[in-house]
Amino acid sequence: MLANIKNMSFALEAMTPKEVIALAQAKDVKMVDLKFCDLHGAWQHFTVPVNQLSEELFSDGLGFDGSSIRGWKGIEASDMLVIPDPTTAWMDPFTELATLSLLCDIEDPITREPYERSPRGVARKAEQYLLGSGIADTAFFGPEAEFFIFDDVRYGSSVNESFYHVDSAEGAWNTGREEYPNLAYKIRAKEGYLPTPPADKGMDIRNEMVAVMQELGLEVEAQHHEVSTGGQAEIDLKYDKLLRMADMMCVYKYVVRNVAHRRGKTATFMPKPLFGDNGSGMHTHQSLWKSGKPLMAGEGYANLSQNGLYYIGGLLKHAPALCALTNPTSNSYKRLAPGFEAPVMLAYSARNRSAICRIPTYSSSPKAIRVEYRCPDPSANPYLAFSALLMAGLDGIENKIDPGEAMDKNLYDLPPEIASNVARVPSSLSGALQALRADHEFLLKGDVFSADFIKNYIEIKQAEHDAIRLRPHPYEFNMYFDV
């Protein structure tokens, strides 16, 4: 058994506590890193010596101060427990000492109930709700996360100034820069999709990211340059179950950032870091299965089943509220603008990338029939975004929500009199939060999201919106200083 354990890595094998301990011994592990996800989708962690790794750790957990985590407990009730999940063990490739990483759930130390504001706990409850619904037993998610790799990033904000500066050797703005020598091969704005080196200067760094992901057990389907100039990239993972895919997206971001850092670069999942060019999305493919059979496939439009159409109906109905979770930053809405391949109209179509819901037609196999929801961006917390999308789709099936007729045309080119009748996503984070306030009952089913979670989340995100709203924007000086 030990020989097999030596080759185990995250997402390949589900290990027991005993097997995790055996893995630590086989790898001569010195430290154990306990990672968990906060409300915003960022990993938090603390590290213990390997002699603390015992079977009891997986049942009793370790205590920490929850009041220091954004959006969690107040200082008057701050004691919390991290409970390592043995099925998530992996060797961290970025530490000097041999370090075993474990993803953790969060519990109340007194009641031992899962903490309702823990994103990973929300995803667990979403999968449990799906199973209890009887509709399906498995939800597969396949996100296509995009990101930027920059050579230099500087920013600052104070009472009397605000600025940002990002740079990339392949950026179109650097055609005239003295680079001793400047060898050109810059990528023009909106022309970065699939160029080859030397214009594509990120080939090697993306290959290294893929190699590390594969080493950790993530199944990568492809990597390539994306549309924007300035180092935009995409690495696609093969679909997996909701909770597992959310875990893998956290690992994915960790790998992308750390590989970039050790190569002297920096990576960001900020949706719109550049003006006038495409932003980064996270198109999310979804399908439901039961007893090993796909439920989205049928004889309807684009080979969809009736439940597949109802699932789309749920996504379209709840899309404005979903935006608060799938597009959770003020910067998200700088991407959600016509002309930059980010869908803003609430419609569905086969093949059509201007629709918010697309049914890919690469294959007619029933197993390949799925819904691609194109609105999300990679600033989303994957546990919350995937759970909310599932709950919206299930609400569509449970209430037989008709999505209406498909729109097989470029929605960006619709005549104004027609376009004005097509509903759109909110144009700001504030609008998305207003939609979530008015429409969140579908998220409360099965206590997947609690009322406390929704209230707390809206308050936190409204504070973010206000922080941007109250500050002068540098471009306002261009427009208004001499009025």
The active-site residue, picked from 85, 107, 170, 226, is 226
Q: Binding site annotation covers 226? A: yes
200 as an active site residue: the answer is no
Q: Binding site annotation covers 234? A: yes
374 as an active site residue: the answer is yes
179 as an active site residue: the answer is no
Contact 20, 100 (CB under 8 A): yes
Q: Residue 351 has what DSSP assignment?
A: S
Q: Binding site annotation covers 128? A: no
372 as an active site residue: the answer is yes
Burial of 7 (C-beta count, 10 Å sphere; 0-12/13-18/19+): exposed
- Encoded tokens for 378: 């990679």
Q: Binding site annotation covers 353? A: yes
The radius of gyration of the chain from alpha carbons, rounded to an integer in Å, stands at 23
Amino acid at 33: D
The active-site residue, picked from 33, 353, 408, 437, is 353
Contact 379, 326 (CB under 8 A): no
The active-site residue, picked from 55, 56, 65, 152, is 65
Alpha-helical (H) ranges within 34-118 are 57-60
Q: What is the largest CA-CA distance in the chain?
A: 76
Q: Binding site annotation covers 221? A: yes
226 as an active site residue: the answer is yes
The active-site residue, picked from 40, 124, 206, 374, is 374
How far CA 461 is from CA of 70, 157, 198, in Å, comes to 11, 20, 41
Q: Residue 202 has what DSSP assignment?
A: T
Q: Binding site annotation covers 13? A: no
The active-site residue, picked from 244, 283, 318, 370, is 283
Q: Binding site annotation covers 179? A: no
144 as an active site residue: the answer is yes
Q: Binding site annotation covers 299? A: no
Q: Binding site annotation covers 279? A: yes
Q: Binding site annotation covers 146? A: yes
263 as an active site residue: the answer is no
Task: Return the closest-CA partner of residue 146 out of 216, 11, 237, 219.
Answer: 237
Q: Binding site annotation covers 372? A: yes
452 as an active site residue: the answer is no
Q: Binding site annotation covers 59? A: no
The active-site residue, picked from 107, 236, 240, 372, is 372
In sequence order, what are the residues at sequence separation of 6 or more whose Cβ sits closer than 8 angstroms to the Cβ of residue 425? 319, 320, 323, 327, 336, 343, 344, 346, 356, 375, 432
The active-site residue, picked from 234, 236, 240, 377, is 234
283 as an active site residue: the answer is yes
Q: Binding site annotation covers 287? A: yes
CA 405 to chain CA centroid, Å, is: 29
Question: 212-246 b/e with 16+ CB inside 10 Å = b?
Answer: bbeebbbeeeebbbbbbbbbbbbbbbebbbbbbbb
Task: Return the closest-CA partner of residue 107 out of 70, 126, 78, 82.
Answer: 82
The active-site residue, picked from 146, 200, 277, 377, is 146
Q: What is the dihedral of CA 254, 63, 129, 306, to 10 degrees?
A: -10
Binding residues: 144, 146, 221, 226, 234, 278-279, 283, 285-287, 335, 341, 353, 367, 372, 374
Binding residues for L-glutamate: 278-279, 335, 341, 353, 374
**Catalytic residue annotation:** 65, 144, 146, 226, 234, 283, 353, 372, 374
Binding residues for Mg(2+): 144, 146, 226, 234, 283, 372
Binding residues for ATP: 221, 285-287, 353, 367
